[in-house]
Structure 1
Amino acid sequence: AGVLRLLALIFALVTTWMFIRTYISFSMKTIRLPRWLEGPASKEIRVVKSKCSLSKPCPKDYFAFKICSGAANVVGPSMCFENQMIMSPVKNNVGRGLNIALINGSVGTMLRHSYFDMYSGDPNELVKFLKEISGDMLVLVASYDDPGTKMNDEARKLFSNLGSSYAEQLGFRDSWVFLGTKDIKSKSPFEQFLKNDPKTNKYEGWPELLELEGCVPRKVY
């Protein structure tokens, strides 16, 4: 009798243990947390950054760009095109006045860049530079300190032919950023302008810096 009771007890313990194990296994499967809450992921999460840090990527056959004007006479302007910084204070290739970069509009490579002192420089140098722009080029412009004191009528007309809406009124210490191309049929959608006005200037003697970004279509011939 004693042996039978012992066997019955062992049987009951084994049965109970198997039941508990099965229940726990079933519970773990039914309340399993989503993978993103389980801990470190087995695969790396890659964050895709847009070219020139744009808010969203550009479509196919479009170029990404970002142009920032200078801040007063303290911080120089910068230009990014297709994720390449082409002009900036760090590259030491910007200067007071108008900073201009020319881009091959079909392949997106930089052709040349320069800056023109529009306070004490020769405006005819700017005119000569603008006249050499051909139809396959994209023109990026950023102001720094003073872009308009020595801007003459010929230069204003050439900028207007590139699609500018504000070149005609550009004056002393105005802020201006612009992207255009030669003989555009309508005004460029890529332009920002702020007039130097003591009532609205953000900096003492200068308006706020401007930032222009977007996607410009590739030129197809």
Structure 2
Amino acid sequence: MRPWTAGTLKAAFFFFASISAWYSGYLLAELIPEVSLTRAVYGFRNIAEKPLLKAPTPKRQKCDHWTPCPLNTYAYRLLSGGGRDKYAKICFEDELLIGEKTGNVGRGINIAIVDYLTGKVRATQYFNMVEGDNSGLMATFIQSAPPKSLLFMVTQDDGASGLKEDAKKVIEALGSKQIRNIKFRSSWVFLTAKGFELPADIQRENINHSDNARNRYSGWPAEIQIEGCIPKMPS
């Protein structure tokens, strides 16, 4: 084939391809409305500009429970102390009754008394079981709780050294099974009621004085806790 003939064919092919592309574009523009094209472009632009969706932050529950308490119940959490800088806490209905932030936690046995009918705190107090003779004062404080009261007790540091028979009997009468087993710096938490019975399925007490747990805080047992939901008084 002569050179000029090949060049002519290439030029003709290029011209034909150009005409076909132009005509295809013309037909596309006629068949698809301009509004649809504009919306499509705008949609792609929005997708590019929109931030990536993030998983919602889990809703915080009362007293840092993992799951919410049912309606018509009180949420509570009792945490013993663990080591010099791990302070005991008593939380009820998301209110910190005793703890480091409230400034009313102390060495010994910490107690909060709550009105079961209203859910309002009646009194809080800690009793040093290392310095001073406070066992009798604690027994009197517990006995002063009026009927229809919830009582929460947690240890901070040592709650056993100065604990005498009078206080043990009072706490034992409220249902404690472990008060006579408390040792030096045992971690202990106790939930009880005065003037009414708690549901049988509620954990009321926990204790830890195992030597296997003492390495965590250089000779101190690790903190322990109980938490749950208490049914309110039927209206």
Q: Cα deviation per residue 1:184-209 (whole Å; 9 max; x = unaligned)?
A: 658762321102x4444132221101
The Cα shift of 1:41 comes to 8.7
* C-alpha distance in 2 between matches for 1:164 and 1:18: 87
Size of the aligned set, in residue pairs, is 204
Bigger CA radius of gyration: 2
Aligned partner of 1:54 in structure 2 is 65
* C-alpha distance in 1 between matches for 2:100 and 2:25: 79
Aligned partner of 2:208 in structure 1 is 194
> Among 220, 228, 233, which residue is 1:206 paired with?
220
Letter in 2 for 1:55: W
Whether the 8 Å contact between 1:64 and 1:216 is mirrored in structure 2 is: yes
Q: TM-score of the superposition, structure 1-length normalised?
A: 0.77
Whether the 8 Å contact between 1:95 and 1:144 is mirrored in structure 2 is: yes
Q: Does 2:140 correspond to 1:128? A: yes
* Runs of 4+ more than 6 Å apart: 9-12
Aligned partner of 1:5 in structure 2 is none
Counterpart mapping for 1:92-107 below 5 A: 92-107=103-118
SS at match of 1:212: strand
Aligned partner of 2:166 in structure 1 is 154
SS at match of 1:94: coil
Q: Does 2:80 correspond to 1:69? A: yes
* C-alpha distance in 1 between matches for 2:224 and 2:151: 17
Mean alpha-carbon deviation: is it higher for 185-194 or for 141-150? 185-194
* C-alpha distance in 1 between matches for 2:113 and 2:81: 19
Runs of 5+ consecutive residues of structure 1 not aligned to the other structure: 1-8
> Among 146, 153, 160, which residue is 1:141 paired with?
153
* C-alpha distance in 2 between matches for 1:179 and 1:95: 18
Whether the 8 Å contact between 2:213 and 2:220 is mirrored in structure 1 is: no
SS at match of 1:146: coil
- CA pair 150-60 structure 1, distance change in 2 beyond 3 A: same
Q: Does 2:191 correspond to 1:165? A: no
